[in-house]
A and B are shown apart, each in its own frame.
Chain A
Amino acid sequence: GAGVSQTPSNKVTEKGKYVELRCDPISGHTALYWYRQSLGQGPEFLIYFQGTGAADDSGLPNDRFFAVRPEGSVSTLKIQRTERGDSAMYLCASSPGRLDRRNEQFFGPGTRLTVL
C-alpha cells in the first residue's frame, strides 16, 4: 500500500510569512508524529496525535507552531511568522497505534522548509 506522503516536498518562504505543511499517513494508522530535523542531526519530536487529538505537543518550540488532525487522518503543521531558524526538514511519521512497544514508525519523505 501507499506509504506516508508529505506535501510540498520543498517550501521556500520569506521571514514573517505563514506556512502549512501537510502529511497523509498510512491508511488505518491512528498514531501520527511530527519531527523536525536539522542538517546533520537526528529528528526532534514536535507533536503526537492519537486519532484526532494532540496527545502530546511538548516538543513544539513555541506558540508560532500549531498542528491539527481534524478527521484523524491527514495532519497539517502550521507555522506563523516564520523565522530563519525554522528552516529545517519537517518529517511526519505514522504507526498503527496499537500497544506495541516496538512502535515502528513509518516516515514520510519530509518537507524541506527554507525561510529567507
Chain B
Amino acid sequence: GQSLEQPSEVTAVEGAIVQINCTYQTSGFYGLSWYQQHDGGAPTFLSYNALDGLEETGRFSSFLSRSDSYGYLLLQELQMKDSASYFCALTSYNAGNMLTFGGGTRLMVKP
C-alpha cells in the first residue's frame, strides 16, 4: 500500500514564506501532486512533480526527491486567502491513476 505523512498544522504570517513537507512510503508511483482545500470547499489542483526537482507555478512551488521519499510545497508571499488545508497525493501505478492522499496540513495565515 501507500502512505503519506504531513504536519497537521502550520502557522505563518502574511507576506512570509512557508514550506509544507510530505514524506511517503510506496512501492511505486507516477508522481506527487498537491491540492488545496478551503473549509467547506472542494480540493483544487495546485502542482505536480513527476521528476525530482522543483516545479514553480506563480507563488507556489513544489519539490520532489524520490531517493528521499520526500516532497514539499513552498508558498511565497503568503496572503490571507492562502489559509486552507493542503494535501499531498501520490498518483498510483494502475490504470486509473487514482490518488492516495496524505492527512492534510492546515495552514493558518495571520496578519
Q: Which of A13-21, A71-79, A104-112 contacts B (4 or more CB under 8 A)?
A: A104-112
B96 touches A42 (CB 8 A): no
How far, in angstroms, from A53 to B60 measured CA to CA in the complex? Answer: 36
Count, chain A residues at interface, CB 8 A: 28
Q: How many A-B Cβ pairs are below 8 Å?
A: 69
Residues of A that sit less than 8 Å from B by CB: 4, 31, 33, 35, 40-45, 48, 50, 55-56, 59, 91, 93, 95, 101-110
A residues within 8 A CB of B102? 42
Return the chain A residue nearest B29 by Cβ.
Answer: A101
A61 CB to nearest chain B CB (Å): 15
The 5 closest A-B pairs by CB, nearest first: A42-B101, A48-B96, A107-B42, A103-B97, A101-B30
Measured CA separation A39–B97 after assembly (Å): 24
Q: How far is the CB of B84 from chain A (nearest CB, A)?
A: 13
Question: 19 interchain pairs (CB within 8 A)?
Answer: A4-B42, A31-B96, A31-B97, A33-B99, A35-B99, A40-B103, A40-B104, A42-B89, A43-B87, A91-B42, A93-B43, A101-B30, A101-B91, A102-B31, A102-B48, A102-B50, A103-B97, A104-B48, A109-B41
| Residues of chain B contacted by A4 (CB below 8 angstroms) | 42
